[in-house]
Amino acid sequence: MAGVLAGLTGLAVTGLLSAAPDLTHPSWARIGAAAIALGLTCAAMAALEIPHPPAGATTLIIALGLLHTAPQIVAVLVGVALIAVLAVAVNKLFGVPYPWWRIPAVRERPSLDRGSAGP
């Protein structure tokens, strides 16, 4: 989802939402769209603490204009939703708890016990 939204944002910022793809002679605007989109995707994954390298590929597919029409974007989003539903079903089938939310990690304080330290 982040990859799709970031790709669309990159296209919108560079004015390429309705432009046809051109992978043989990419313009600076197209390169900018890809850079913006990848930066946003990486930032979103870092902020949400959910690394997912294939999101970068989705981002590039959108930002490079390979999928840019409304029906194509809807098809990708439907695919994302179906994969998420399938993941929940498979995890439930095999008894793996599905992480509906992330439990914050508890950081341990370093021990100040010097009794076990050497001379």
Tokens of 29: 């605007």
Mean pLDDT of the 89-113 span: 71
Mean pLDDT of the 97-113 span: 63
Cβ atoms of 81 and 42 within 8 Å: the answer is no
Q: What is the pLDDT of residues 11-51, one digit of tens each?
A: 999 999 888 888 889 899 999 999 999 999 999 989 988 88
Q: Which residues contact 17 (CB under 8 A, 6 or more apart)?
A: 8, 11, 68
AA letter at 63: A
State the average pLDDT for the chain.
85
Separation CA 34–CA 84 (nearest Å): 25
Separation CA 48–CA 66 (nearest Å): 27
Q: What is the pLDDT of residues 44-75, one digit of tens each?
A: 989 988 888 888 999 999 999 998 889 999 99
Tokens of 58: 């989705």
